[in-house]
Amino acid sequence: MGAIARYLRRGANSAAATALLVVSAVVYPPVLFFSVHSGRSGFGLVEVAPSAVLTLAVLALVRRAPLFALAALLTAWTAAALEMPKPEIALLFAVFVDGAVAAIALTRPRWVSLTALGAAITVQLACVLVLADPGPVLTLLLAVAALAVPLAWLGGATVRQNRRHAQELAERAAAEAVAAERLRIARDLHDMVAHSIGVIAIQAGVGGRVIDTQPAEARNALAAIEESSRETLAGLRRMLGALRRADPVDALTPGLAGLDRLVRTTGDAGVAVDVRWTGERRDLPAEVDLAAFRIVQESVTNVVRHARTGSCRVSLGFGEEELVVEVADEGAGPSGEPAGYGLLGMRERTGLLGGSLTAGPRETGGFRVEARLPLAGTAR
């Protein structure tokens, strides 16, 4: 209720202010005319102060009622110019009217600003024709009046267009950032959950087959299912916590530091992973470390699901300018690239880092995935 009351008070104050400005615009032409008329023998504070205050009020009304305020300015200064045809009055006429046209072009739709432009040009040209004597001076005045108002309108319209363009660019960049973040979250969810569910499915199948004949193996399978489920749940909680905190740091995995745990859980699923390191091991950029781990994770998950083999090899080669990640098996996997989002996610991760990924069946049998990840200066 308090918020509603404050809103109504603000609305009432705004309406009262607008009404006061409208009244000022209505009385502005006669007040300015009599001020100019009284100032024929010299302007004093009595002549200048009321007109100055009302001029400011009418200029303030331009934002709320632009065409009405412009009409008041044109009427008042036309009367003033007819009463005192002097350069000073003509200059003030042009400054106030052209400034109002520029403000209208800056803040209002095109049809409103073009209406204001047409009215201002028409009235100013009419004043020049009525007040100026024929000759070169009249031609010059007509040219100035005809050019000054369009230039003012063009300046306001250009600034408005630039602001709109900048706003559109900012909105597009924000939308692209949101889409990129959604894709990143989707890739991480897929990689994490797909691996865990694959391991759970394998272990559940093993446990179901041996529960009567080999209770110990069944218990091991259940233990592996429990461990994998807990790790997945913990990862989901970390991810949700990071999203709630708007934390840009990836909270789902430590990168290649989690490779030992991945090897262990994959081994529990019946696939032994042989990890080979070549080159000088060193700290990796965070995005490369994460991408390398996710590529290995997705690749060994595909081995567990599709290869029908008991082993695979993971090779990590540290070069001067790139990290080479290779996962290969000798199973009976698909003859082409397997369908699904796994390889698509790996290609997106690699592409975002400026690297390359190849995947396909090996000539000697099995399947091979190789990713080349630049270590510096190539991310885009």
**Better pLDDT: 130 or 103:** 103
As a whole number, mean pLDDT of residues 301-309 equals 83
Helix (H) or strand (E) holding 272: strand 272-278
As a whole number, mean pLDDT of residues 360-364 equals 86
195 close to 263: Cβ distance less than 8 angstroms? no
Residue 305's pLDDT is 81
Cα–Cα distance, 222 to 213 (Å, whole number) = 15
DSSP for 71-104 reads: HHHHHHHHHHHHHS--HHHHHHHHHHHHHHHHHH
Residue 87's pLDDT is 76
User: Could you tell me how many helices (H) and strands (E) the chain has, helices first?
Assistant: 10, 5
Q: How confident is the model at residue 379 (pLDDT cuts 50, 70, 90)?
A: very low
As a whole number, mean pLDDT of residues 194-213 equals 71
Q: How confident is the model at residue 194 (pLDDT cuts 50, 70, 90)?
A: low
Cα–Cα distance, 242 to 250 (Å, whole number) = 8
pTM of the model: 0.47
Write down the mean pLDDT value for the chain.
77
> What strands lie across the sheet with 322-329, from one edge to the other?
272-278, 311-318, 322-329, 367-374, 356-361
Residue 362's pLDDT is 86
Q: How confident is the model at residue 85 (pLDDT cuts 50, 70, 90)?
A: confident
Residue 251's pLDDT is 47
Q: How confident is the model at residue 380 (pLDDT cuts 50, 70, 90)?
A: very low
Residue 315's pLDDT is 94
Residue 177's pLDDT is 63
| Beta-sheet pairing, 356-361 with 322-329 | unpaired
What are the tokens at 298? 């997705």
As a whole number, mean pLDDT of residues 7-25 equals 67
DSSP for 7-51 reads: HHHHHHHHHHHHHHHHHHHHHHHHHHHHHHHHGGG---HHHHHHH
How many alpha carbons fall within 13 Å on the CB side of residue 344?
A: 8
What are the tokens at 45? 């504070």
Nearest partner of 40 among 8, 103, 88, judged by Cα = 88
Q: Please state, in angstroms and as integers, the Cα–Cα distance from residue 202 to each residue in 10, 208, 303, following that order.
A: 66, 10, 12
313 close to 349: Cβ distance less than 8 angstroms? no
How much of the chain exceeds pLDDT 90, in percent?
Answer: 8
Cβ count near 49 (within 10 Å): 11
Contacts of 64 (CB under 8 A, 6+ apart): 18, 21
Cα–Cα distance, 354 to 374 (Å, whole number) = 7
pLDDT(273) > 70: yes
Residue 4's pLDDT is 41
